[in-house]
Structure formats: C-alpha cells, structure tokens
Chain A
Amino acid sequence: MAPHIRIEDVRKVYRSGKDEVEAVSSVSFAVQAGEFVAILGPSGCGKSTLLMMCAGLEPVTSGTISIDGAAVTAPRARVGVMFQDSTLLPWKTTLENILFPVRIQKRPLAEYRDRAHDLIRMVGLSGFENTKPHQLSGGMRQRVAICRALITDPDILLMDEPFSALDAMTRDEMNDALLDIWERYRKTGLFVTHSIREAVYLADRVLVMTRRPATIVEDLKIPFDRPRDHSIGESVQFNEICAHLRSLIEHRQSPAPARSAAA
C-alpha cells in the first residue's frame, strides 16, 4: 500500500551570512495511513524542523516530502497541526477557538457545531464552551487545541511536542486522552517528543533522531497492541525498550534488540 506520508532524503540547511547550519541531514522514512509515528530526540536535533517541513510551513532545502503522493509545498487543509504552545486566541471562547479553522477555511459553521460539541465532550471539557483561555489551565488549553486540530477531520495530525510544557501529571492525563482519541479516530499521526516514555507509550513506531548529524538512527516498531492502557508502562518489556532508546540517544552504540524492524 502506498504510504500516506513519504519523506525522501530530506535536508534542511539554514544560512545566515557565511554560516551554514544543517538542521536536518538526510532523513528518509514513510508513514502508512492510520499509523502513529513518534519522532524522538534531544533538543536541537531538528525534529521540530522536520515536522514543520511536513506541515508545509518550512521549505525543504533538498529532497521531497509527499503526502498522498503529492509533494508538500504549502500547508494543506487535510493536515492538522498542533504546536507546543496551545496558541488559543485569547479573545475567543473555547467554542470559538475550536471552530476557528472552520471559519478560516470558509466551511459552513452549522455543520461543524455539533462536531465541536462532541469533541468538547470527548476531551472532558463540557461546561467550558464559553470560557476564555486565560480561565483554563495549561492541560485544558491543550485539550481545546486537540479539538481544534480535529474539527475539520483532517487525515493527518502533526504534533510538535504538544505536551512538553505541561507538568508531569497533566502530561500523563493528556497521553491517555490522546490514546483514547486515537482509538476513536485512527488518523495518521506524526508526533515529535523528547520524552522516551511518552514516545513508547503512544506510538506504533518510534523514529530516533540525533543531532550532528541530524538523522534518524533507528526505526523501532513498538510491540504493544491497541487499545493500550496504563499497565503497559509498568511492564518489563516497556522499560527495556525505553532503556534501549535511552542508550541510543546517549551513546548511539547499542545494537538493536531483536524486536526492531525497518519500515
């Protein structure tokens, strides 16, 4: 089956005057429809840049990124994006923020109102439809951002460390919420994070990125079945995978255990 997202030999170089910074250096992988892939790596390894290129918000220096076979040159309506900052417009209510993409893309509002209410209910924010962002906590704001990302029913969700600004407990809650949403909607997902546990918990596949050079050093399939629950976090297997990934990031030396598979 043709991959939903295909990234071929993509490079990204920033130039300022005489200096050249290679943010992403020759990355290639593919994502199938309905797959949830995590890009894991330390700060500054270029993973966010890679995501922005997939979103059409940054141009590639060389190589191609194609979605549904067509090269990505600009943002697309069928691709939803979530940023680290929930980026809710402060003067709009929760409901208005969620319906913002509908307005921008000039779709008929009436058709999407029910969907908005469904999403609000699903993430547990019933009763908060008319509140302003400053009245919501960080976790609640990100939940509104999730609803906004899903309102137009995009095929693909690109998420750039959406939970890293939250405290540990809220983050765990959000991970569970995301898993539930995934069960329900089964979008294709690309999720950037620097949390190893988060990557293993959420994803079907984890791509490990390092910096200097900024490439993918491993493509690890996560063997847990869906639907997943909390308990997998306690299992020995889970922790072994995390340990392996950690050593990869720190030393880039350990040979891959038997479970890994190339895409």
Chain B
Amino acid sequence: MKRLHPAIARCEGLSTFGLPIGLGVFILVAWQVIVRRAAVPQVILPAPTDILLSFDGILGVLAHHAWASGSESFVAFILAAILGATVAILLSMSKLVYEAIYPHMVLFQLIPKIALAPLFTFWLGIAAPSRLTYATFISFFPVALAMMTGLARADANALRLCRAVGANHWQTFFAVQIPYSLPYFFSGLKIAATMAVIGIVVGEFISAKEGLGYYILYAGSRGETAHIFAAMIVLCAIGLLLYGVTVMAERIMQAWWRG
C-alpha cells in the first residue's frame, strides 16, 4: 500500500467525503436553478425546494402509509429469513434431496416472479396478508438458495477434521456446516432486504388502499409529482434502513466469527 505525505493524506481523506458531498450539493443547486430558469412545470420536475415544501401538510398521511409499507416489508423480510434458513437446512440434510431440489430452486430464483403478483392478489385478496405472502415468497428464495450453497461449501479441511474425530452426520452439520454457511446466509439476506420492499411496493401498485406504493401511484395519477418525490424519499429511507440493519447484523456475525 502506498503511504502518503501528511498533507496529501489529509487531502485524500477530504476527497473521499468532500467529492461526493460536493457533487451532491452541485446537483441540488443545478437542479433548483435549471428548474426555475427554464420554468419547468411542477408536474414534470419539481425543484428541491418544492419537494421540501410539499412535505408540509402530508406528514401525517405519509407517516400512515410509511408505517404500512415499512412494517409489511419488515415482517416479510423476517419471515423470508426464517423460512429461507429453515428450508435450506431441511433440504440440505440429505444429499439426495439436495441434488433433487437444488436445480428447481435455482430455476425458481431466475424466473421473473414479479409476474406472480396479480395471482397472489387473486388468490389471497387485496388486503395486507396477500402482499405479505407475496413479498415473503419472492424474498425467501435468495436466502434459501444462498444458504444452501453455503451449506454445501463448508471448508473441506474442517469437514475432514470432523471425519477424523469421528463426528456423525448431524454433529458435522451443526458444528461445521451451519457456521460456515452464515456468510452466505447474510449475503442472501441482503438481497432479501431489497426484494421484500420491491414485493410490498409492487403489491401496493396492483391493489391496495394504503402504503407508499399506493400513495405514489395515487399522487402520480393526480400529477402531484412533488408528493411522489416526498413519498419516495421516505420509501428510500425505509429500504436503506432495512438494508442497514441487515449489514449491521452481518457485522455482528462477522465479529463473532472472528472471535
């Protein structure tokens, strides 16, 4: 690694934060100025100040919809995590079962499950449970698949050690395979965090009376573009929060892993 002269090192640290911040400020200012100068209609693109102002008056409404979307996403994510891990463990206990089912899991992961959203609404109605089921359904595959891959890929030396000390299949499974699968589990969880929110939002698009997805659709149909941006900001916060929680959990797991 190259080390630097202290003045340059200070510049380096500055530029890692300074450049993105500078770019952000530049974009916001340019956005504001261009929209005002070119008199862009609010329907097409509201200025940053318009968006900020639009929050006023809809805070309660936004909070209500945010809670709907947020809580559903969170629940779907947790269910997907538990279900995914359980299925992964159950399917990996027998080599025969694993080899029979794994390709199908991969296939299911690759097909555009988004196309199934209307079907879930059809089967389970338009209330929260159907959205929840759908979001859990699409988020569970990445977790299960990642963990199954992890269980199959435990460190060969560790497995050999188990055989050498005479551990049976179950002992090996719980003492070695599951711990070694944790990194994979968490990378699957990160995908699930994104998928859960996507599932809830798409469910809300198709048929809902509440939630930020619904609110954005509604605002869109009324040309209230500033409200779309406002709701989007809240939704992004939810999505990033869920992702952030997962990353933190991963860090904790990694700290435990390293002892």
Contacts and interface: CB of A to CB of B under 8 A. Distances in A.
A226 to B, nearest CB: 39
Contacts of B5: 15
A142 to B, nearest CB: 25
Contacts, number: 14
Nearest to A57: B2
B166 interface: no
Interface residues of A, number: 7
Interface in A1-60: 14-18, 21, 58
Interface string B198-232: 00000000000000000000000000000000000
Contact of B4 (A15, A18, A58): A15
A14 B6 CA distance: 10
> Interface SS of chain B: helix, strand, loop or mixed?
loop
A15 B1 CA distance: 12
A184 B177 CA distance: 55
Contacts of A58: 2
A233 B5 CA distance: 46
Contacts of A15: 3-6, 9
Contacts of B9: 15-17
A14 B9 CA distance: 11
Chain B CB within 10 Å — which of A15, A18, A21, A58 has the most?
Answer: A15
A21 B1 CA distance: 13
Interface in B1-16: 2-6, 9
A18 B7 CA distance: 11
Contacts of A21: 3
A21 B4 CA distance: 11
Contacts of A16: 3-4, 9
A65 B147 CA distance: 55
Contacts of A14: 3
A59 B59 CA distance: 58
Nearest to A12: B3
Contacts of A18: 6
Contacts of B2: 58
A15 B3 CA distance: 6
Nearest to B13: A17
A15 B5 CA distance: 6
Chain A CB within 10 Å — which of B2, B3, B4, B6 has the most?
Answer: B3
Nearest to B8: A15
A50 to B, nearest CB: 16
Interface of B: 2-6, 9
Interface of A: 14-18, 21, 58
14 contacts: A14-B3, A15-B3, A15-B4, A15-B5, A15-B6, A15-B9, A16-B3, A16-B4, A16-B9, A17-B6, A17-B9, A18-B6, A21-B3, A58-B2
Complex A-B, nearest 3 residue pairs according to Cβ-Cβ distance, in ascending order:
A14-B3, A16-B3, A15-B6
Given A15-B4, A17-B9, A21-B3, 11 more contacts: A14-B3, A15-B3, A15-B5, A15-B6, A15-B9, A16-B3, A16-B4, A16-B9, A17-B6, A18-B6, A58-B2
